[in-house]
Structures are given as C-alpha cells and as structure tokens.
Amino acid sequence: DQQVKQNSPSLSVQEGRISILNCDYTNSMFDYFLWYKKYPAEGPTFLISISSIKDKNEDGRFTVFLNKSAKHLSLHIVPSQPGDSAVYFCAASYNQAGTALIFGKGTTLSVSS
Amino acid sequence: EAEVAQSPRYKITEKSQAVAFWCDPISGHATLYWYRQILGQGPELLVQFQDESVVDDSQLPKDRFSAERLKGVDSTLKIQPAELGDSAMYLCASSRAWDTYEQYFGPGTRLTVT
C-alpha cells in the first residue's frame, strides 16, 4: 500500500497563476517531508522541505503547507512560470535523518504562457 | 556547484547479460543511495550505504543485484543477469551526513533490457 500518495497525475496552469500540488500520506511516523522537481532525462532536484513541527515553509515563489491532522501537504508555486513545467514528487522520511525517502508517484505540472 | 555523477547515462542490454552502473557522490557525502524509478512511479530505494557499509538493502533483489562502495566514496551497482523487468531509471543520491534529510540526485542511468 502506498504510504505517500499524489492523486493528481497532472496539472495545467497558466503563466502567472498559482499552482497547487497536493500530497497525502498514511504513516503518522513521518517527520519530514520534501518536494523534488524532475525534468525529463534528469535526476530529481531538491526544491523545498518541511519538518513535522512546522505547518509552513516558504522559499521564494515556493511554499509548502503541512496539515498533520489531515496527513496532507501541498506545494504552492506563485507565480507559476513556464520553466516550472516538470514532474513534482512528494517524499517523506521517518525515524531519523539519513534514512531512505519514500516517494509519491509524481504530478506533472504544465505551465502555459 | 557540486553534483552527483553517474555513468553511463543510457544503457541498452540484452536479457541475461550483465550490466553495471557507476556513481560518484558529492565530495564529503557519507551516505549514498541507489534508487530505481519505473516509468510513472516514484523512485524506490534499492540500497543505502553509510561510508562503505550497507545500511539497508532490504529491497535489493540479491539473487541478481549487487552493490558495493569499497572505499566509501564511489559506488557500483551491478545486475546479472538482466531481465526485461529491470528496464528503468537507476538513480544515485547522496546526503551530507546521518543527520541530514535532503538527498541530492545524479542524472540517472536509463536502462533498457531487450
């Protein structure tokens, strides 16, 4: 059973608008969450992360929100740019740092100009 | 900016043949991971090293897969014999220390088994 779920395989947004990518998890032991961006033929690139003791983390155009009670997190990109078009993976970790990440299946974001 | 290096970038091999992938992590990164990503899925861990020691290989199909990191720096992942179902992207990642969550990925090796 998937512990990290990204239920929307794809999302299309116009340039300048907000992109919201969602992620749900089932394991309450997860204590750290990360978002990665992946372009075709490249490896995933770390984007932003959040500890379970926080409910928001912001870095420039990217903000991640965590709702522990709902076991849900979201990535907001404002404003969206065509260069943001990529596959976005939600990942989670538990027990301690240095353990393997558990990834969702990814959401393909397409930003049109 | 330091990067994780992987080679080859692409590999086509026939089933039953042996294949090997190489990874050089970011300098100073003690933890190294090999992940496999099947098309349409997220990466899944195959094996994790802390320096030269295997920390987790519970998901590594040990009848055909092997991995080593002899000097605690670069690493090799081998498949022998390759099967059609092994076609995937093989990703190497490293992290700075045991207390770091963020992992940095290489470009991956795209394996096609025919």
**Tens digit of each residue's pLDDT (9 = 90 or more) over A19-75:** 999 999 999 989 899 999 999 888 999 999 999 999 999 999 999 999 999 999 999
**Tens digit of each residue's pLDDT (9 = 90 or more) over B5-18:** 999 999 999 999 99
Weakly modelled stretches of chain B, pLDDT under 50: none
**Tens digit of each residue's pLDDT (9 = 90 or more) over B50-62:** 999 999 999 999 9
Higher pLDDT residue, A4 or A100?
A4
B7 contacts: CB under 8 Å, gap ≥ 6 = B21, B22, B109
* Residues of chain A positioned with their CB less than 8 A from the CB of B106: 43
Question: Across the interface, do B107 and A42 touch by the CB < 8 Å criterion?
Answer: yes
Mean pLDDT over the full length of chain A: 94
Partner residue facing A46 (CB), from B104, B107, B110:
B104
Query: What's the gap in Å between the CA of B81 and the closest CA on chain A?
Result: 25
Residues 29-88 of chain A with CB under 8 A from chain B are 32, 34, 36, 41-46, 49
Q: Which amino acid is at B43?
A: P
Partner residue facing A44 (CB), from B40, B43, B99:
B43
